[in-house]
Amino acid sequence: MPPPATCYRHPDRPTGIRCTRCDRPICPECMVPASVGFQCPDDVRAGHAGVRAARPVPRWTAARRRFGPVTAGLVAVNVAVFVVTAVSAVSVGNPPLDNWRSPVFAEFSQIPVQVVLGEDWRLLTGAFLHIGITHLLLNMLSLLVFGPELERRLGWARYLAVYLVSALGGAVAIQLFGEPGRAVAGASAALYGLLGALGVLMLAARQDLRGLLTLLAINVVISFLPGVSLLGHLGGLVAGVLATGLLVLTRRRGWGQAAGLAALSAVLVVLALAVPTPVAVLGL
């Protein structure tokens, strides 16, 4: 009768159990439960070494995948600008949440009379400023709701172009018809442009527009509240509709899309800077 097998790691311990992978005898101390039977410690370690640990995905990468790179980037830029204005407010002795009382806000918000005096950059920089944390959060939430779908439909480059043209359209409306000395800021004009863009795409695809029109009507009513720029919202909406309409009409010609958006942007800039505004007429 052959002698009983002994554990390959402990030769003084007889055993009748063998590893289900390598068939070596193992004692109770060396048994590692497996899906079928037991395995020896060496085979378990070898199996773990062959399994690659999942690499953690950086938060920024996860955000880009979920919301789209441009949408995530726009949110990041707006938040970063808000932080800069908050720090700027603190530097002159104001609370950080009173960011509109900062030198940075004063320098870059859209003030029609200052644009007439040559500070052209305010036409676009004002779209990345916000008046307080609530203003920022509401606009960024709206961007995260509507932006990803549009970015998916248009592609990142066209989507970014529509966003910027819409922001410029809102600035033009404020420049032509707004109060000369009132500072205006916020991404709302661009967001209204995105709503208009979504409407154009849904119309081209023969989708039901009732839900979108209801939402748009509610937002237009909100635009009549004190402190809200109705002009900026309507200007952004019109610009977004025009920009996306050009994209739809020239969708088979890439150069035509770029030329159309460039021409529309040029017209908006001319309207803002060359057409006499109430500010210029009054000589303010």
Using DSSP, state whether 68 is helix, strand or coil. Answer: coil
Integer CA distances (angstroms), 206 to 13, 22, 71, 151, in order: 79, 65, 26, 19
Nearest 5°: the CA angle 219, 220, 225 is 90
Catalytic residue among 102, 109, 166, 233: 233
At 189, list the tokens: 């004009």
> In this structure, what are the phi and psi dihedrals at residue 160, rounded to the nearest 5 degrees?
-65, -40
Q: Is 233 a catalytic residue?
A: yes
- Find how far residue 50's CA is from the centre of its chain: 39
- Which position among 109, 142, 188, 229 bears the catalytic label? 188
Residue 150, exposed/middle/buried by CB under 10 A (0-12, 13-18, 19+)?
A: buried
Torsion of CA 186, 187, 188, 193, to 10 degrees: 150
Dihedral angle sign, alpha carbons of residues 211, 73, 123, 268: negative
Residue 10 among the catalytic residues: no
HSE toward the beta carbon, residue 20, CA cutoff 13 A: 10
- Annotated catalytic sites, by residue? 188, 233
